Structure 1
Amino acid sequence: MTRAFVFPGQGSQFIGMGKELAQASEAAKLVFEEVDDALSQSLSKLMWDGEEDELRLTENTQPALMATSMAVVRTLESESGKKIADLASHVAGHSLGEYSALASVGAFSLADTARLLKLRGQAMQRAVPVGEGAMAAILGPSFDTVLEIVEEASQGEVCVAANDNADGQVVVSGHKGAVERAIEIAKAKGAKRGMLLPVSAPFHCPLMQPAADEMRYALADTQINEPALPVIANVLAAPVGNPDGIKNLLVEQVTASVRWRESVGSMSSLGITEIVEAGAGKVLCGLARRIDKSLSATNMQEMADIERFIEDL
């Protein structure tokens, strides 16, 4: 098998995601109901009829994106009569998408995944007071150049490369003043663009250590099964399948850089030629094409997408 399923992270959310699929598929409808029950919250109502600002809250965004991805997975499995393990050789996800990937191959139950992501979002928000941290996209420079930029920008504060998304697309994270300095330094070094991102906390940097500590305790009390397929971990940019390894990497992931460019490169080296993005949006499809133009990349978020995929099997 030369196919990998990948799962989107924060930034792909939008009001209405998953609604069409829930109306068309009983399997998808049951996913949203199970997530609502697990959280004792009508998350689906917020996703479909709520306000963008409320959905953008990290504690809502994370389980909402996972629920949408798992609705796609469960619908695909129901309609095709095949499990994800029959349709791919690996899975991966961007940041919170790694939890979706793990749920898709049975490492976590759906309810546990929802609860973990709700807590993860809350813990990340608690870790840094609003206004003290920031994230910014730096477009143009190589990853190595961005490493030089953040080192220069730090000046005793935290400033790191948080997301290595693709060549010329790196996100930096840390104290707000340091991130703002990084934008100016990047522009002076010829960056095409540097812009603050509309996020509520500085993810994937050392300031998130309190959140990592909370996730360590939560994951210690959560059943983790051996996944049906290897999961390419953000922290390693390499496959992992051992439950203890998965647990440790998810804790580390909170403060570590998302090595997505390298993860896609790892997929290519493993012989993967087709990437299917399951869930909201097409962000990971776009990144895959930038990273390796030889890769086929398609997204799957509505019933018509799933039907087309099954027809082509």
Structure 2
Amino acid sequence: MELSTLVGKRLALIFPGQGSQHVGMGQRIHEVSSAARRIFNQADEILRFPLSQLCFKGPADELADTFNAQPAILTVSLAYLEALRERLRELGHTIQPAFVAGHSLGEFTALVAAGVLSFEDALALVRERGRLMKESGQERPGGMAAVIGLDRAALEQVCQEASELGLVVVANDNCPGQLVISGEEAALRRAMELAQERGAKRVVRLGVTIASHSPLMERVAHALSELLARVPLREPEIPIVANITGKILSTVEEIRHELAQQVVSPVQWTDAVREMANRGTTAFLEVGPGQVLTGLVRKIRQDVEAYSVRDFGFEP
């Protein structure tokens, strides 16, 4: 598909979160794009270790460690964004997105794309976010599970019933019929059993030992709030649609609150996509190492176009 397909459309750029990482991600774009190479080189220099080689060569378990996965996904996503801009310039085109949004971790990438955060500050923040989340997961172990084919009201009732064994909540509203729950081990297992009993088509335990987007991350939210108070943020050059509310973030203070509180709050991805579509977005482009968000957009709104960078010849 030609990149010129995107020119002239009311476009939203969307950025993936944790779970999209895989060994080999970004290697091809590093080879062919000088703009992408600059991003990888900058990340290696800032972090003082070869993050690029971890992305390209693994090992997979080290890459999946939340402490590494978060800066790796941010870096690869921004490498794709810079390569995309570079190729458009070569073709004599530019695109000015109407909106940006990111799923969980991807919100930091969206803020760099919108000119709110510098890459250097974003990299430091997500590295620390990953460290804090890993530490919190070790102190208060938990997990997450995807629930397919059960509506939100029914799943919230399930979580309420399972809460007699501990904390468990709805963590992600990814698209109609696809939700994620998060919480403490015993309560999570009970909620998974109840969801199946109530008619869920599938219940799949996710490969994480961290209860993201739940009150178990309260200490992380507090630490992030203190960090963010010291990080310079600029007014967005492109409107950003928030995870917590699915609405546009309009001030720097709203952005600070969003970034701290999203680790304890559900990701309202369905609402975010609908907000962008309702405001006239006709095409969504997923920029990063995966195509999960592309599929979610297609399930949320059938009247919009959804692409990933792979559709335009950018290798995974």
Q: What percentage of residue pairs aligned between the two structures are identical?
A: 36
- Once the two structures are TM-superposed, the CA of residue 130 in structure 1 deviates from its matched residue by 6.6
Counterparts of 1:93-108 in structure 2, within 5 Å, are 93-108=102-117
Give the partner amino acid of 1:59.
F
Give 2:35's match in structure 1, choosing from 15, 19, 27.
27
- Once the two structures are TM-superposed, the CA of residue 85 in structure 1 deviates from its matched residue by 8.9
Whole-angstrom distance in 1 between the partners of 2:303 and 2:311: 25
Counterparts of 1:129-278 in structure 2, within 5 Å, are 129=138, 132-155=141-164, 157-278=166-287
Contact 1:43/1:64 (8 A) holds in 2: yes
- Once the two structures are TM-superposed, the CA of residue 78 in structure 1 deviates from its matched residue by 2.3
Structure 1-normalised TM-score? 0.93
Give 2:296's match in structure 1, choosing from 287, 290, 305.
287
Whole-angstrom distance in 2 between the partners of 1:145 and 1:161: 11
Q: Does 1:72 pair with 2:80?
A: yes
Deviations 1:114-155 (A, max 9, x none): 110000011111113278211111111011211111111111
What's the secondary structure of 1:199's corresponding residue? coil
More off after superposition, 147-156 vs 6-15? 147-156
Deviations 1:45-69 (A, max 9, x none): 1110111111100011111111111
- Once the two structures are TM-superposed, the CA of residue 290 in structure 1 deviates from its matched residue by 0.8
Q: Does 1:119 pair with 2:128?
A: yes
Counterpart for residue 61 of structure 1: 69
- Once the two structures are TM-superposed, the CA of residue 80 in structure 1 deviates from its matched residue by 2.0
Contact 2:285/2:309 (8 A) holds in 1: yes
Contact 1:275/1:297 (8 A) holds in 2: yes
Give the partner amino acid of 2:292.
V
Contact 1:124/1:208 (8 A) holds in 2: yes
Whole-angstrom distance in 1 between the partners of 2:187 and 2:200: 17
Give the partner amino acid of 2:240.
V
What's the secondary structure of 2:123's corresponding residue? helix
Whole-angstrom distance in 2 between the partners of 1:66 and 1:274: 22
Contact 2:165/2:186 (8 A) holds in 1: no
Whole-angstrom distance in 2 between the partners of 1:268 and 1:9: 21
- Once the two structures are TM-superposed, the CA of residue 273 in structure 1 deviates from its matched residue by 1.2
- Once the two structures are TM-superposed, the CA of residue 304 in structure 1 deviates from its matched residue by 2.4
Contact 1:280/1:301 (8 A) holds in 2: no
Q: Does 1:49 pair with 2:71?
A: no
Give the partner amino acid of 1:28.
A
Q: Does 1:40 pair with 2:48?
A: yes
Give the partner amino acid of 2:271.
E
- Once the two structures are TM-superposed, the CA of residue 8 in structure 1 deviates from its matched residue by 0.4
Give the partner amino acid of 1:172.
I
- Once the two structures are TM-superposed, the CA of residue 302 in structure 1 deviates from its matched residue by 8.6
Give the length in aligned residue pairs: 305
Q: Structure 2 vs 1, CA of residues 302 and 33 (structure 1 numbering), >3 Å: closer, same or farther?
A: farther
What's the secondary structure of 2:313's corresponding residue? helix
Q: Structure 2 vs 1, CA of residues 279 and 110 (structure 1 numbering), >3 Å: closer, same or farther?
A: same
Deviations 1:52-101 (A, max 9, x none): 1111000111111111110111122223239x994210000000000000
CA RMSD of aligned residues (A): 1.8
Whole-angstrom distance in 1 between the partners of 2:163 and 2:157: 10
Whole-angstrom distance in 1 between the partners of 2:282 and 2:72: 29
Contact 1:7/1:279 (8 A) holds in 2: yes
Structure 2-normalised TM-score? 0.93
- Once the two structures are TM-superposed, the CA of residue 303 in structure 1 deviates from its matched residue by 7.3
Contact 1:130/1:201 (8 A) holds in 2: no
Gaps of at least 5 residues in structure 1 are 307-313
Give the partner amino acid of 1:70.
L
Deviations 1:223-267 (A, max 9, x none): 111111011010110111311110011111010000001111111
- Once the two structures are TM-superposed, the CA of residue 35 in structure 1 deviates from its matched residue by 1.0
Q: Does 1:16 pair with 2:16?
A: no
What's the secondary structure of 1:163's corresponding residue? strand
Give the partner amino acid of 1:221.
R
Whole-angstrom distance in 1 between the partners of 2:289 and 2:86: 19
Gaps of at least 5 residues in structure 2 are 1-8
